[in-house]
Structure formats: C-alpha cells, structure tokens
Structure 1
Amino acid sequence: MTTTPVWSVDPRTGKQREQVAAEATHREVDLAVRAAHAARTALAPAAVRAAFLRTAADLLDGAAARIVESADAETALGPGRLTGELARTTGQLRAFAGAVEEGAYLDIRIDRADPSLSPPRPELRRYKVPLGVVAVYAASNFPLAFSVPGGDTASALAAGCPVVVKAHPDHPATSELCAALLRRAAEESGLPADVVSVVHGFDAGLELIRHPLVTAAGFTGSIRGGRALFDAAAARPVPIPFHGELGSLNPVVVTPAAAAERAEEIGSGLAGSVTLGVGQFCVKPGLVLVPAGPDGDGLVTALVKGLADVEPGVLLDHRMRDAYVAGTRERAALPGVSTPVAPGAQGEHSVGAGFLTVEAARLLEGGPYEVLLEECFGPVTVVVRYADQGEAAAVLGRLGGNLSATLQLSAAETEGAPGPAAELIGLVTALAGRIVVNGWPTGVAVAPAQHHGGPYPAATSHSTSVGGTAIERWLRPVAYQSVPDALLPPELREANPLGLPRRVTGPASG
C-alpha cells in the first residue's frame, strides 16, 4: 500500500528537515479509535488519572531541552517563547490533576426525598460521567499548549476520556515526541498507552470526526477548517459536540479621555501586543477604535514608533506567510486606507509588522471594506478612527463574536460611575468571552476563572478551552432517581466514601 510521508519543515528556510511519519489510513484511524475506546475503563479511577497527569507533566519537563529544540526547529517561535509555553503546558496538566482529586467538577447534587412537597419529590442524585473517546485537533500557533499535550488533551484525560489527536502538519516531529512521552506516562501509571494516540493527515482528520466511537471533539484553528469539521460532526448519524475555537478580531476601544491621558503608553502597548509571537496569537488585537483628533493622532504616532524597532519575523509556515502578504496587500489597496507602517513581505521567508488606518465612516460603508472586519493572521492590526461613541458603537455592532474585547479607559472612567465607559462594557460584553480593561488580551492566564471562548465565530460552543471549567466539555450529567444506596456509584452514596464536595437539599435521611 502506498503511504504519504509526513515531513518536518523548517519555516525559516522552507526546506524539509526529516520524514517523521506517514499519513494515517482509514484502517489506522479506526484501529487508534478502537484502541482508545477499549482503554477508557482503565481511566475510571480518579487517583490513577491524577497520577497519570502528574507523571506526564514530569516527563515533559524532563525532556524540556529536546521538546523546545524540536518545536523551535518546526515553528521558529524561539526558545524563550517555547520554554514558557512548555511550563504553561505542564502547569495545565498538574492543575487538572488537582481538579480530579478535588472532585468539584463532578457537580454532585443530591435532593433527598421529601413527601411533604406538592407534588412529592423523589430521591434524586446527580453527577457527571465521561463521554468517551475525544478527538483533538492540534493548533498551529501553540505546538505544546494547544496541541498533543495541550489543554484539550489534558482536560479530556482529566474527565476520564481517552484521546486521539490529529497532529498539526506544522510540527509533526514535536507531536510525535510529546505523544511518546504521554504514552510512556500512561504505562508508568498502570494505564494502557492507547489512552493517548496521534494520527497525521488531512483525510485522517475527517475520518476521525466521522468515527462512530468518537464522542466529542476539540479544535483550535481557522474558521474555514473548524466550520467544516463542525458541520461534519453535526451531520453524523449520531451528532457529537464539537468545541471549536475559530477566528477572532479581538477589538480594542480607546476612549477620548484615555487617549488624552496616556496616548504614548497605549500606542506602545498596542505595538507589543500586535507583534507578540509575530502576531500569531488567537487573541491578537486586530481592530482598534481610536478617537479622531490630536489625542488619537498621538496614539498613532506612538504606535508607529513602537513598530519601528520590530525586526522581521518568520510565520509558522509559508502558506501562512503567503496569506498574510496577500491579505495585507488587499486591505491596503482599499480607497481611504493608509499604511503608516506598511505590513508585508520582508525577504524570501520573513514578514514585517505594520498597521492600517481607516475612518469609521468609510468602514461602515460595507462592501469591499468588510474584509477589514476579518481576521488577518500575523503582525498587523487595523486602526479605525471614530468621531464619537455612537460611531464606535456602530462599528462594534458590525462585528461577530470574539475571544476578547479590550477597553482603554482614563483613570476617571475606571471609577465605575454610570456613563460612557459603563455603556462600552455592556456593548463589548455582548461580543466577547473575556473583557480586558487597561491591559492587553495577548497572554491567557491558566486559572479557574478563565474563559477562552466567545460567541460564534470565536467558538462553536459556549465552553472554554482554557481554565478549570474546560473539563466540563467532556462530561454529561446523569440523574439517579430512587436508586438504592448500594446500587449507586460511589460518588453518590449517602456515606460519601470518596469525600467529594456535594450540594445536598432536603431532610436528612434515616
């Protein structure tokens, strides 16, 4: 049988580094999913899962030098960035181990029988159970934290779901290395290695989403790719949940008072946020509403200054580079659009950062200007000059869902008195899953209260892919009514033998 090789490619040169694997055939995808399905019961004990996640984190940390070297060779993201990303990745694994041990994610609720109510209430006990095999689609821009050992994998394993990862073609060697470490961690924890496996290839990704034993999927990537998989998940004979993080403009609104108070600070901060990771963060601010007039002009001048010293960078692959060059060229050619710092190609393999400016009134015309309201992946943003808050609100009203929205406010506006700032908070809350005030959205803290998602097209569901509640995506609730205590799962028995947190209502039993 003829197989298609999977090559590791150096984005700095465009040259193939090594053949890593072969694209998975239909049979190989089927075998991987069936092996994962057979391994699911081994993940049931919470103590085993927690030990597995911690062992995986330890093995990844122990192989840090090899992982960072491999990831840098395939992504050009740099050792500093990747060292931090690996720490975030292993931190996620350990955090989910702690969540498994705590048990609050099971959301145990007990309503004791109460015949005095009208109508009488039966005994009800509810908790959550794992869905089954989860398909994870790795991201290009985070070869660790959103890929094979990343948050989707960690949260699914924590929930008790085995995982089959469709590796991203931009970092296949790193994917294989991390998968081998996860599989070794499983075996060292007394689990079958097949609780985690990796497949390669576009067709393998389609086979995976259609496999009848796959019960849910997590995806981070483009709107086009994510929507195709989302539609495939919905079109199955038995549809499954598809938790996709797709595209986002991540709008920023700078109020006139904030621009007057600290234009240089905001412009400098914006330059840093737009160019962080060569503009390849999913929360990069891609649309910035700046007031017209002298204060806004000062901010634009500061942005020009902030971008002046930014060196050309290498994008994750040449396909993305071509899309960036073509996308910035198309936007810059629109009537009324100017380029104080022109983004685009810099040499054969690199790109330069920049930004475009346009008047809000022109943007609101629609037509060809709609492209300015679409994400352009890379180190570029669009500065929209608005005349008043009504015009700014009209622009916001044209946007779809976003992962984040940022407000730059003055000191007086942050005091919380009713007024324009409070109105802006209301406007952006309807648009985004995370609201930032006087900061920048790049950099997503891994914390229990974090939410990384938003209205479509930022995400295809209302869940988060970062933070403790990411585990909820891979669970479903089950209620037991009038079931004898001896027949209940241990998590729900009256004596609470596992010592889990639970919400109990009704009269004490006995």
Structure 2
Amino acid sequence: MTINGSLLIAGSQKRGTAGEFSGVEAISGKSLPISFGGASPDDVEAAAAQAWEAFASYRETDLETRARFLETIAEEIEAIGDELVVRAMAETGLARGRLEGERARTTGQLRLFAKEVRAGRFQELRFDAGDPSRKPVPKPDLRLRNIPVGPVAVFGASNFPLAFSAAGGDTASSLAAGCPVVVKAHSAHPGTSELVGRAVQRAVASAGLHPGTFSLLFDTGFEVGQSLVADPRIRAVGFTGSRRGGTALMDIASRRKQPIPVYAEMSSINPVILFPGALKSRAADIAASFVSSLVLGAGQFCTNPGLILAVGNEDLDAFIAKAAELLPGVGPQAMLTPSIAKAYSEGVARLQRHPEVRAVAAGKSGSEFEGTAALFETSADAFLAHHELQDEVFGAAGLVVRCSDLAQLEQVLDSLEGQLTIALHIAGEDEPEARRLVPKLEMLAGRLLVNGFGTGVEVSPAMVHGGPYPATADGRSTSVGTLAIYRFLRPVSYQDFTSALLPDALR
C-alpha cells in the first residue's frame, strides 16, 4: 500500500498546500518519514461540495448495496495487512496486540452495522391508516420513516487510531445511516489514517458509489475542522477528544445560520464505588483488578477508572495498601503523542502539589514521552471543597476519595459532572444500598457496571458509550453500538401521499 501524504477527496488524491507536518514516533518524539500536506480552504470546499452532491444518490441506496459497501470497507482494511499495524505502532506507541485487536474491532463494527442495515430496523417505518369516514373530521393517512440527516464531519480520535478514526464508529454509523462522510484525520496518526482512508476509497469505487461519499483531509492547525463544522452542507459532527475541542466545535455549530448537532465525546473520570461488603471480603482482589485497569494502554482510555469512592476504614486501607504494593512494579508506557505525555505529566504534578492530596504510590519512571502510573488519596471534604480535583488527568492516574460514611459518599456523587461509566463493586450484603443508589447513578452516567471496570467497551446493540455533559455533548446518544446510527437520522412524516409519491419503503 502507499502512504504519500495526500488528501483523499472524492475518489482522487492531491497534495495539500496549506503547510505540512510529519507523523511522530510516539516512543522517541522523532519525525517519521513522509510529510503530509494540510488542506486549504478550497480543499475543504471541494470535499463538502462533493459530499453534498453524493448525498442525493447515497441516501437512496438500497439496503443491500449499503450493507455490502460496509462489508467491503472491512475487507479492504484487512487486505492492507501488517503494514497498517506496523505504522500504527510507530505513530501511537501502542502494542501490536492492542492494535491487532483494535483492527478486529474496527472491521467487526463495520460488519455489525452492515447487519443492522440489512435488518432495516433503523428506518422505524410506521403506518397509521387513514379513515375518511371518521367524524367530526376525517383521519389522515400517516406514514413515517427515518431519513439520513446529510453529510457528516468526523474527527479522528488520538487514542483509537482505527476504531475511532477514518473508518471507526462515527464513520461506520454515518455511512450506515446513508450519510456521506468527510473525515478530519488526527495529526497523531496521519499515515495510519491515510492507509485506512485509501481502503474506504477503494470500497466506494468497488460499490459504484458517488466518489464524494468519502473524503479525508489533513490539517496543520484548527482551520480545517472549524471550516468543516461551519460549512452549510455539513449536517452533523462526530468528535472524540478534549472538552475544550468539543465545546469549541459546539460553539461553531450553534452559531451557524442552521445549527447542527455535534456528537462530542469529551471528558469522564469514571467513578468506581467500593461498597463496604465488597471491600471487607475482597479488598486485595479488587485492588489488583483496579491497577490492571488503571494502567491498561497507559490509561489512555476515555473509560479509565480515575476516581475511587469508598468509606474510610481498615478495609479501604487494605485496598490502598495492595494498590501501593503493585503500582511500583508497573513500567512506564509510551503516551500517544508528546503533547499528551506533557499534559499527563503536568496533571500528575498538579495533584502532587495539591495541599489536600496525598501521593500513595507511583510506577516506574521513564522518558519524557512515557507516562508513569500514579495513585493519590484525598478526603471527601477536600474533594467537595476543591472542584479542580474533578479534572480529568488523561492517563494512568487515579484518585481515592475517603468518605466518612455512605451518606458523605452520596454527597460526593451529587457533586459530580456527567460520566461515561460508573462501576459498583458489591457483595450480597451491599445490594440494598446499591439498589437505592441506582436511580441516582442513572442520571450521572450512560453505562453502569457491577464488579468490573469500564475499560473495554463491547461493540453491541445493547451498549451505550455516552453520558450526560461533559461526558458527551448529548447524553441521549452513544458512539458505540448499533444505536449510534440514530445520531445521523431524523424522522419525516408523510400525510395523505399517493402511492406514486411515497418512498418505496412506505408503499
């Protein structure tokens, strides 16, 4: 396969002329071979215009053609072979096993959406027959279907170079809904994105679709992403990244003449509640599982368990002692980018300097491009008094909050912002109290789990990867699982249409 740093616009390739940048080897910070040209305003215009032109035909593709198209993307990605994994390893510092698993996840979710398209459930077809004899007024004939919203701008994520990037979940669900996609590739893994983008281009051609169904652009700053969101032909946005980035895009979208939804996944510290019975019976085992989850992938998961809540007693002491025993044996891990490594180091340093925070333990230190796992402790009183302790530290850092009793633990819960996940560790004796808290927890997070940790998000029809703000911009949505398709659909009702005028699916 070829990586040459080109923009991929509607079936063609061209060199971007708005500056250039290179991929960076995550472990060393050194530039990788091949530079990438940034898209110009004319390139953004061309990609958006082609996507809008493609929408007219792509939205009407029959379900089998659309499903087969998604399957072909998966096949083309697999056909790239080891080159894709090797390039992603260099650009992200992630291990081979992790990336091979992520590739399987990416192709698997494409095939899952193909299955969903064939089933046709997402159309939500509804028929309510008219009754002209009804008194005092005739009843109209009403039929309803979901239609695609239009072209979608997808922003690649730094932490998932395959599953949340050029052909990841946002792209797959947009295409499944019938929406052309313009991807703004993430600068952290441009070569990986180009390889996958070319695979999608080949699938578009193989399916005989309008070439504007897919484009991929590079950016040397923020202008391309901002211009895409502002373009009137873009009708929705999929984003995974920082709160600052997500809210900036939301602001642009809201100021448009026709505002559009921005489905942004942004910030979560994913509380873990350790109930008294669970701590008493298995504190050491929970601590071992927690450390494994905390350091997985250098902690660079949006579902990383960053906050531990428990009543302070000798059982919590045992949990902390076991975690403190295990963490020093954890080696440093490469962070995704030098800037992420720097931000993580600064976040850990802020906790170390905080007068109300105690450092519990840390892993082995490494280079400036690697992250060192860290665990801290504070009191519930301090946590409630210092809102900055809720700030996400993106990486393998955790904060234990010691509560005086379950009532104060509940106060801490009441102070939290929206989350992606909340985990409950319980024993049988804890079930009544856990059951009482569930309605409160439902209002805080999109996924609740028992006796586990949020890392590892199953691609499933029953999965929700979303939550109240700031976990996501719209807590009614998910970016993982088949429900993700509904972000890019809207309902239309057809009243008293003749058969000739009705869409085929509603006849």
Superposition TM-score tier, normalisation by shorter sequence: over 0.9
2 CA distance for matches of 1:66 and 1:228?
35
Offset of residue 54 of structure 1: 0.4
Once the two structures are superposed, the pairs formed by residues 149-160 of structure 1 within 5 Å of their partners are: 149-160=167-178
Once the two structures are superposed, the pairs formed by residues 407-486 of structure 1 within 5 Å of their partners are: 407-414=424-431, 419-461=432-474, 462-486=476-500
Asked whether the equivalents of residues 275 and 353 of structure 1 are also in contact (C-alpha less than 8 Å), the reply is yes
Query: SS at 2:237's partner residue?
Result: strand
Asked whether the equivalents of residues 463 and 473 of structure 1 are also in contact (C-alpha less than 8 Å), the reply is yes
Offset of residue 326 of structure 1: 1.0
In structure 1, stretches of 5+ residues that fail to align are 494-510
Amino acid in the other structure paired with 1:382: L
Q: TM-score, normalised by structure 2?
A: 0.93
CA RMSD between the two structures = 1.5
In structure 2, stretches of 5+ residues that fail to align are 1-15
2 CA distance for matches of 1:336 and 1:136?
41
2 CA distance for matches of 1:241 and 1:296?
43
Residues 1:252 and 2:269 aligned together: no
Asked whether the equivalents of residues 11 and 318 of structure 1 are also in contact (C-alpha less than 8 Å), the reply is yes
2:31 maps to which residue?
Answer: 16
1:286 maps to which residue?
Answer: 306
1 CA distance for matches of 2:261 and 2:18?
31
Once the two structures are superposed, the pairs formed by residues 82-93 of structure 1 within 5 Å of their partners are: 82-93=99-110
Query: SS at 1:229's partner residue?
Result: helix
Once the two structures are superposed, the pairs formed by residues 51-450 of structure 1 within 5 Å of their partners are: 51-114=68-131, 115-116=133-134, 120-201=138-219, 202-342=222-362, 346-365=366-385, 369-414=386-431, 419-450=432-463
Amino acid in the other structure paired with 2:87: S
2:46 maps to which residue?
Answer: 31
Asked whether the equivalents of residues 157 and 240 of structure 2 are also in contact (C-alpha less than 8 Å), the reply is yes
Residues 1:3 and 2:18 aligned together: yes
Asked whether the equivalents of residues 303 and 421 of structure 2 are also in contact (C-alpha less than 8 Å), the reply is yes
Amino acid in the other structure paired with 1:412: E
Q: Which moved more, 1:63-72 or 1:179-188?
A: 63-72
Asked whether the equivalents of residues 331 and 363 of structure 2 are also in contact (C-alpha less than 8 Å), the reply is no
Q: Could you say if the C-alpha distance between residues 2 and 146 of structure 1 is closer, same or farther in structure 2, counting changes exceeding 3 Å?
A: closer
Amino acid in the other structure paired with 1:186: V
Offset of residue 345 of structure 1: 5.5
2:4 maps to which residue?
Answer: none
List per-residue Cα deviations over 1:385-442 (Å, max 9, x = no partner): 111111101111111101111111113334xxxx311122222111000001111100
Offset of residue 110 of structure 1: 0.8
1:506 maps to which residue?
Answer: none
Query: SS at 2:216's partner residue?
Result: strand
Q: Which moved more, 1:89-98 or 1:12-21?
A: 12-21
Asked whether the equivalents of residues 343 and 355 of structure 1 are also in contact (C-alpha less than 8 Å), the reply is no
Q: TM-score, normalised by structure 1?
A: 0.93
2 CA distance for matches of 1:308 and 1:411?
33
1:500 maps to which residue?
Answer: none
1:496 maps to which residue?
Answer: none
Q: Could you say if the C-alpha distance between residues 42 and 409 of structure 1 is closer, same or farther in structure 2, counting changes exceeding 3 Å?
A: same
List per-residue Cα deviations over 1:321-355 (Å, max 9, x = no partner): 11111111111211231111136963332221011
Q: Could you say if the C-alpha distance between residues 194 and 385 of structure 1 is closer, same or farther in structure 2, counting changes exceeding 3 Å?
A: same
1:504 maps to which residue?
Answer: none
Asked whether the equivalents of residues 344 and 351 of structure 1 are also in contact (C-alpha less than 8 Å), the reply is no
2 CA distance for matches of 1:268 and 1:154?
36
Amino acid in the other structure paired with 1:81: R
Asked whether the equivalents of residues 248 and 457 of structure 1 are also in contact (C-alpha less than 8 Å), the reply is yes
Offset of residue 25 of structure 1: 0.6
1 CA distance for matches of 2:136 and 2:448?
44
Q: Could you say if the C-alpha distance between residues 448 and 117 of structure 1 is closer, same or farther in structure 2, counting changes exceeding 3 Å?
A: farther
Offset of residue 64 of structure 1: 3.3
Amino acid in the other structure paired with 2:76: L
Offset of residue 204 of structure 1: 0.6
Asked whether the equivalents of residues 422 and 449 of structure 2 are also in contact (C-alpha less than 8 Å), the reply is yes
Offset of residue 2 of structure 1: 5.8
